[in-house]
Amino acid sequence: MNKGQLIEAVQKKLGKDTTKAAADAALNAVIDCITKAVKKEPVQIIGFGTFSVVKRAARKGINPQTREPIKIKASKSVKFKPGAKLKAAI
């Protein structure tokens, strides 16, 4: 499912009175809020899961094309841990 399909699903779930533009705005608002909040603290949505920032240490790697060793910089990434209801639904 891509973002367009998700917008259509949200529109159908909210009912016939909801426009596609309103569903798009709602989805964008949720994504924006999660993005801003996860920078400061973990975002926990009960029953769905938790988004959190994880720090990756600098490490050595191998360039797959040349097989030469390379240095990979330290970075931050987002981790998602699914909640119990999401796990049960799968």
pLDDT digits (tens, 9 = 90+) for 41-86: 999 999 999 999 999 999 999 999 999 999 999 999 999 999 999 9
Residue 84, amino acid: A
This prediction has a pTM of 0.78
The set of residues, in sequence order, having a beta carbon less than 8 Å from that of 65 and lying 6+ positions away, is none
On the CB side of 2, CA atoms within 13 Å amount to: 1
Indicate whether 16 pLDDT > 90. Answer: no
Tokens of 79: 């981790």
Largest CA distance in the chain: 59
Nearest-angstrom CA–CA distance, 90 and 86:
7
Nearest-angstrom CA–CA distance, 62 and 48:
36
